[in-house]
Structure 1
């Protein structure tokens, strides 16, 4: 893996796709395949595939500070580049590759200032009034996440039409610009477990491309919080979760507020053998999102024990 990451560092953080600049997934998929136990041939397949897509890395003279100096603040902008900055850094730290750690940190820092200012969760208006309709079902203090999502689904002010051919980031920005969005931006009772369960429930209900990133993004945030704790860093967890929830909510609205498949999260059974059986197929695939989802799902299943994570191995929708 370190040899593969050495090679991947010659490529830029972004690559062109028509008029769009997309995030280069090569270092992340190399980490996912390695953690899944894929053979070296799978890493070479990814390197060959991404060589055709990527462009040379642009030189940077910006100094990269130590991780300990910036991680607590960076976690306030875990939604940067549709969660990819956080996902890449989580994989980089897991890899133990110094060059990739610095490159991943630099990529996030390049976007963090603007993202941090966008992620603050403040009052809806100058007076703190939300402008609710008299009979609105907007959640009140102490409302649980499931109840909040039910209210979001029922609110006609949060309707969005599909926006094909646009970046996830663009769709999230459009959702956040809806006048009713601030009414739901604060959920007092919020935990990472809540967000993980909702992410998996939404993905299993839709197999949607954006929903896939909620699963992998939530996993990355958990890993980075663990890194921060292991290094003795002080974190403002309520603020981190509030910022992440704001992006999560925008994604949920952008994919048209599907009914989460709560039952699928906890039904059935799962075992290590489910992932072991999938490794040959994943190794032959160049669908980096399918591979990263499978890896994140296994790690989350190991942590939480929810059998629904094994359903992420199904080649459906975004994981085809």
Structure 2
């Protein structure tokens, strides 16, 4: 989806350059979506004036800080020691700026991904989001910021499944099978934060038993995509929204990394963790999904306009990703959930 108005490109690049200097998170440990949703809004038709106004609103209302002061330089043999240490965000950004400057964005992403992929739960998967949008924009500065953010907020499950042989190729079946485990019912976690919930799930033995079971085949993302869409269409939940948008982000990142199915497998394990947060509902069957696909819809411009007018970053994110995934798959259900998200249909 190109910009509706080509004149927005230059002011958008300047604006993202400015807001991108701020931290990847704001108090308390919430993901800063601003660099990404400004790009989404522009592609949905936002004017430069709307983008400027939204950037001011978001930065002020969320008190988005600048990253913490640098502590010490990191090198190729030391940056891994800073994984998961939010106080090293600046050091990690500077390290990756150097890497990108030496070998380019694509190679920097490719070489770092074997380390970063298991920790894709970083900031509730928003490190992946920032990287995806940075690659979409072909923005070296944002690629370095995204890699630094992902590394600083790195969150992975322990290697409890390292010797387990994958036994299913069906992401949805693995998800639904969790409903049969009593200990996964009514799970509680320490806070409302998604990444803290994801982290807490990793301590539950019955959940650990689900790790490492999904086969990382080359078509894994293609099998994840309809499962994520069905889950979101059936729940319209905040958690399932991230499964849909995450499949879009994975598609943007996949062309520049080796073994993208490994990153997709780790991402789906995050979806499994969040499934418990929404009570593990039974996804709608194909007949129900098909009935929703046939619903009358407003035109794309009306859906996009409603998203651009919203101050909720998840409206911009979902509608843009839904439009892009519709272009990729032709599945009209993406437009249905986009229209529902912004309140244009029930």
Taking structure 1 as the reference length, what is the TM-score of the superposition? Answer: 0.81
Deviations 1:264-304 (A, max 9, x none): 55552599973322222222111010110000111111111
Quick check: 1:28 aligned with 2:36? yes
The separation in 2 between residues aligned to 1:110 and 1:82, in whole angstroms, is 13
Q: Is the 8 A contact 1:266 1:307 kept in 2?
A: no
Out of 135, 148, 167, which is 1:106 matched to? 148
8 Å CA contact retained: 2:157, 2:202: no
1:226-305 aligned at under 5 Å gives the runs: 226=255, 228=256, 233=257, 235-263=258-286, 265-267=289-291, 268=293, 274-305=299-330
- Contact 2:306/2:342 (<8 A) preserved: no
Q: Confirm or deny: 8 A CA contact 2:117 2:262 kept in the other structure.
A: no
List gaps (5 residues or longer) in structure 1.
129-139
Q: Tell me, yes or no, if the aligned pair for 2:33 and 2:313 is still in contact at 8 Å.
A: yes
Cα 1:181–1:165, aligned 2, differ >3 Å: closer, same or farther? Answer: closer
Find the counterpart in structure 2 of residue 135 from structure 1: none
Displacement after TM superposition at 1:318 (Å): 11
1:203 counterpart = 2:235: no
Q: Which runs of 5+ in 2 are unaligned?
A: 1-11, 70-89
- Aligned equivalent of 2:177: 151
Contact 1:78-1:86 at 8 Å conserved across structures: yes
Task: State the partner residue of 1:122.
Answer: 162
Q: 1:119 to 1:295 in 2, by over 3 A?
A: farther
Establish whether residue 58 from structure 1 lines up as the match of residue 68 from structure 2.
yes
Question: 2:342, 2:307 → 1: CA distance?
Answer: 15
Cα distance, 1:4–1:120 mapped onto 2, change above 3 Å: farther
1:177 aligns with 2:203: yes
The 2-side partners of 1:42 and 1:220 are apart by: 24
- The C-alpha deviation readout for 1:237-287, integer Å capped at 9, x for no partner, is 443333222212111122221111243555525999733222222221110
Q: Residues 33 and 261 from structure 1, CA distance in 2 versus in 1: closer, same or farther, beyond 3 angstroms?
A: same
Distance in 2 separating the partners of 1:301 and 1:314: 13
Return the alpha-carbon distance in structure 1 between the equivalents of residues 309 and 31 of structure 2. Answer: 22
Alignment check: 8 A CA contact 1:12 1:55 kept = yes
* SS at 1:291 equivalent: helix
Q: Is this contact kept in 2: 1:87–1:217, CA < 8 A?
A: yes
Cα deviation, 1:190-227, whole Å, max 9, x if unaligned, reads 6112211111111111111111111111210111002x
**2:332 — aligned with what?**
307
Matched positions, count: 295
Check whether the contact 2:325–2:334 (CA below 8 A) recurs between aligned residues: yes
Q: Do 1:265 and 1:309's aligned partners in 2 also have CA atoms closer than 8 Å? A: no
2: distance between equivalents of 1:119 and 1:201? 30
Q: Structure 1 residue 102: deviation in Å? A: 2.2
Matched, 1:45 2:53: yes
Distance 1:120 1:106, change over 3 A: farther
Aligned pair in 2 of structure 1 residues 152, 218: CA closer, same or farther (>3 Å)?
Answer: same
Alignment of 1:12 with 2:23, yes or no, is yes
**124, 146, 159: which one pairs with 1:82?**
124
Q: Secondary structure at the match of 2:26?
A: strand
- Pair 1:274–1:155, CA change in 2 (3 A): farther
Change (3 A) 1:143 1:29: closer
TM-score w.r.t. length of structure 2: 0.75
RMSD value, Cα: 3.0
1:32 Cα offset (Å): 0.8
